[in-house]
Amino acid sequence: MGGPKILVAAGLLVLVLACEESFAVGGPFKYDYSIPVPKWSIQGLDTDGTNVFALWDDSALYTLDSNDGHLISSTDLSSFGCGWLGLAYNGTNLFALHSSYGGVDSYVYEIDPQSGIILNSFSVGYGEYISATIFDGNLYLSGFSGGGFAVFDTTNGNLLSSFSSWSYHGLTAYGSTLIGAVGYSGLCVEIDPYTGERLNSFRLNTFSQGIRGLAWDGTRLFVSGIVGYNSGAPGYIDVYERLPNGTPWACAFVNWTYNGSRDVLDGSWSSGSSSVLSWLWDLNADGLYDDASGVTPDIDYGSLYTIPDIGLKVTTSDGAEDFMRIGNVYFRPPGPTIPEPGTVALIAPALLAFAGIAVRRMRK
């Protein structure tokens, strides 16, 4: 009589394994390995498939082996001062973004990756650019006019186009689209490279103090960021592999936005391998997602403008679930001094970032 019990046990084991597999940690990418880098804050990142090029903001360029991470070469850029924020490789040379604030023009330096010699440079004008990539042979910079993309001809520095979008701290070409990282939250967004439209979103559970660099080589996604606040400390680059097509995944992301009269919770950045079926909210910190539902839940805040702990659970139509928790969300009271809606959409994540609010992630 042992046979059926074993079969049942085996069946349950298969069921458990199947359930675990349906929860793709990190969205459509899975953590694979890390490689060490000499510095704690690698803001620019790209790869030629064999090597990884890493730009320390203050200020050096490193070439590392993409597999074992050993340091192949380094180029001292300290004579330019800090502010190296973006790096892009066009198949031949590197384009390093040195960005400035306060009305001073930013520059892009074309660098030979073999010798580290600067071959060329051009001004990209005043813009708070924070990341760079090559797409379709042209240089894409994110952060244009506080949000959006500017596209430059790499041969002469001419501005080819610009369009509004969010500002992405890390940026990489990803086949026919782009992927950008939204700073501190671990949220990454797949972006239409011609319109800036958000196509998809996922989160990488890494660099809680900020993703700053992304590079895709066709099979691996390299991710750099900020590690601690010690400028003498070393850092690392995390390497993710793409999960097979069809792998269910879900991404919960709590945002808040202005709807014309007040701030509202907004779960519309949540995404997954199929459509999100439900958004369930925990607003009283009891761990039960039973206080509100819907992508922008209609809740009565009363005089409460700070919710100390918000949880969002999303479920996709293929059964994947994801959870996100966020602390101390401040809703501004309705009043005449509220900025325009378009500005608010950009301010919200900045508030989140500058408040240093811990974004915690839970997963069953």
Assign 3-state DSSP to the chain and report helix, strand, coil percentages, each to 5. 10, 45, 45
Interacting positions 27-66 with Ca ion (CB under 5 A): none
- Helix (H) / strand (E) element for 55: namely strand 51-56
Side by side, which strands form the sheet with 321-330? 292-293, 276-282, 306-316, 321-330, 359-360
Q: Residue 318 CA to chain centroid, in angstroms?
A: 24
Piece of the chain touching Ca ion by CB under 5 A; list 235-243, 251-259, 264-272, 287-295: 287-295
Match 């359930």 to its residue by tokens.
19
Measured from the CB atom, the residue of 288 and 304 that comes closer to Ca ion is 288
Stretch that binds Ca ion, among 115-123, 240-248, 285-293, 337-345 (CB under 5 A): 285-293
Q: What is the DSSP letter of 183?
A: G
**Closer to Ca ion at the Cβ: 48 or 291?**
291
Nearer to Ca ion, 57 or 282 (CB): 282
Q: CB neighbours (10 Å) of residue 309?
A: 16
Find the shortest distance in angstroms from Cβ 280 to Ca ion. 9
Beta strands 263-266 and 235-242 are unpaired
Residue 286 touches Ca ion, criterion: CB under 5 A = yes
Stretch that binds Ca ion, among 37-45, 132-140, 238-246, 283-291 (CB under 5 A): 283-291
**Comparison of 153 and 286: residue with beta carbon closer to Ca ion:** 286
Of 263, 249, 274, nearest in space to 307 by CA? 263
- Contact letters (x/-) for Ca ion, 288-317, by CB under 5 A? x--x--------------------------
Q: Which is nearer to Ca ion, 247 or 284 (CB)?
A: 284
Cα–Cα distances in angstroms (integers) from residue 105 to residues 43, 110, 126, 155, in the given order: 19, 16, 4, 19
State the nearest-atom distance from the C-beta of 341 to Ca ion, in Å: 29
In DSSP notation, 262-278 reads: SEEEE-TT-EESS-EEE
Of 37, 58, 125, 54, nearest to 88 by C-alpha is: 54
**Closest approach of Ca ion to the CB of residue 355, in Å:** 23
Told to check if 318 binds Ca ion by CB under 5 A, we report no
Q: Residue from 57, 110, 190, 282 that binds Ca ion (CB under 5 A)?
A: 282
CA distance 199 to 165: 12
Among 284, 293, 296, 328, which residue sits at the site for Ca ion (rule: CB under 5 A)?
284
Whole-angstrom distance, CA of residue 163 vs CA of residue 46: 23
The smaller minimum CB distance to Ca ion, of residues 109 and 323, is found at 323
- Of 266 and 282, which has the nearer Cβ to Ca ion? 282
Site string for Ca ion, 233-272 (x = CB under 5 A): ----------------------------------------
- 296 CA to centre of own chain: 22
CA–CA separation, 288 and 6 (whole Å): 36
In whole angstroms, the minimum distance from the beta carbon of 287 to Ca ion comes to 7
Number of chain positions touching Ca ion (CB under 5 A): 5
Comparing CB distances to Ca ion, the nearer of 137 and 308 is 308
C-alpha span between 44 and 21 (Å, rounded): 33
Instruction: Confirm or reject binding of residue 362 to Ca ion (CB under 5 A).
Output: no
Query: What is the contact surface with Ca ion in residues (CB under 5 A)?
Result: 282, 284, 286, 288, 291
